[in-house]
Amino acid sequence: MKKTLIALSLLSGSLMAQAGGLLTNTNQHISFVRMMARGASHEIDAVYSNPAGVAWMDEGWTLSLNNQSAFQTRTVDATFPLFGTEYRKYEGNTSAPIIPSIFATYRKDSWAIQGFIGIVGGGGKCSFDDGLPAFDSKVMAGILAQSGGALTPDKYTINSAIKGRQYIFGGQLGFSYRFNDHFSGHAGMRMNYFNGNQWGFVEAILNGTDNKLLDLRLDCDQTGWGITPILGLNYRYKGLTLAAKYEFKTKLNIENDTKQLEDPTGSLADYKHGVNTPNDIPALLAVAAGYEFTPKFRATVEYHYFDDKHAGMAQDKQKALTHGTHEILAGMEYDINKTFTVSAGAQRTDYGLSDDYQSNTSFSCDSYSVGLGAAVNISSHVKLNVGYFWTMYSDYTKNVPAGNPGYNGTTLAGQDVYSRTNKVFGMGIDYKF
């Protein structure tokens, strides 16, 4: 069976309140949830979305507390000869009712200092309680081959499950300076701490007995850290704002702290205690243009590029991407009166996916997201933001012909259809001292 099983791989990708690249969460403030395009902001959320724009905020202290609640599914519809005539549906679920973030700024004259704490990548937990087709298909094909065709799938039962947890916590600190009436700049950095766990098992039991044909188990904690340098520019002229932010690539290796490793197949070498795996955060370029058409109506268009192909991943998986992630965003907001503001926006994400990149344990789907919401000025010091966004994913179909290696290394043909859902609700308070 040594060559018939794959490793219990990382359940990678942004699992919770996803908006952004393969490994990056860009929705940090509720203003993003309700408008999407915030790259030209001069409000408290600019700490993340347009750090040079903080130099144009009101003088004094501003604090923002935010929380998002996210609900996602990840589904694999698999077709494989040993499954029978029907395809099998494998569904992973995650719910995260509490995803907090904190922003703070202080501006005096031309200078501003700002900070931010939030979950900037990875972003949650996902569990497949019935395992995944990659495991089931390999076990079935291996048992059939080694038994000379005698042990068909109806003669044994496969039990399997896999759970993944990934959080990248970020703490950001930076300084902005307004050079004149039109230009401002920013320099800062973010400290990123990775915390994750990979847990799973696969066992095959002969029907009517306690005899195990296979028993494979893993419980592995993973940690790592890295620093992201950040630069920003902001140009403002009358109602026009042009802004840019560049986040450098973050070199981040994660180290295994393995609690359990039962691996009779020898396929889980990457999860031995002390092994390091690359999990870089890609460089990000964000540019935006915002315009105030009237004192009550504002709109922004924005572009993001995540350089995923040059960010190290486990087993150099980034090389299988056809290009880095492209995102196009647009949003608008309208002040109904001095108290109420309504807003809406949209985002298109193109990851540059390929069959070689996609796998059961780590897959993404291109998407469209739509957000809407409102801001309420409770007083001259307090603003309430509420927002909701949902994501519409394009299913990704991966057909694998028979041959070598075939579907999951079985030499047989097979098909996986990957799909996802995502819904996020958020609420936050901005307070000016």
Q: Which CATH class is domain 30-432?
A: mainly beta
CB atoms within 10 A of CB 296: 12
Determine the length of the chain: 433
> 103-112, 122-131, 280-289, 316-325: which range is least confident on average?
122-131
pLDDT band at 3; cut points 50, 70, 90: very low
Q: Residue 2 has what DSSP assignment?
A: T
Q: H or E stretch including 351? A: none
What's the N-to-C CA distance of the chain in angstroms? 65
Q: Does residue 17 surpass a pLDDT of 80?
A: no
Q: Show the beta-strand stretches assigned E in 58-144.
A: 60-79, 88-108, 111-128
Q: How confident is the model at residue 13 (pLDDT cuts 50, 70, 90)?
A: very low
Task: Say yes or no to pLDDT of 202 above 70.
Answer: yes
What is the token pair recorded at 129? Answer: 């309680």
| CA–CA separation, 385 and 32 (whole Å) | 10
**Does 16 score more than 90 pLDDT?**
no
For residue 190, pLDDT beyond 50:
yes
Span 17-41, mean pLDDT? Answer: 86
Residue-range domain boundaries for the chain: 30-432
Give the per-residue pLDDT at 6.
Answer: 40
Q: Check: CB of residue 177 under 8 Å from CB of residue 55.
A: yes
The DSSP H or E segment spanning 343 is strand 340-350
User: Under 8 Å CB-to-CB from 237, ≥6 apart: which residues?
Assistant: 182
- Mean pLDDT throughout 151-157? 94
CA distance 311 to 83: 37
Q: Give the pLDDT band (50/70/90) at residue 81.
A: very high
Model pTM score: 0.92
pLDDT digits (tens, 9 = 90+) for 354-372: 999 999 888 899 999 999 9
Q: CA 346, 173, 291, 302 torsion: positive or negative? A: negative
Q: Please say whether the beta carbons of 257 and 250 come within 8 A.
A: no
Cβ burial 41-57 (10 Å sphere, 16+ → b, else e) = bbbbbbbbbbbbbbbbb
SS (H, E, C) 369-401: EEEEEEEEECCCCEEEEEEEEEEEECCEEEEEC
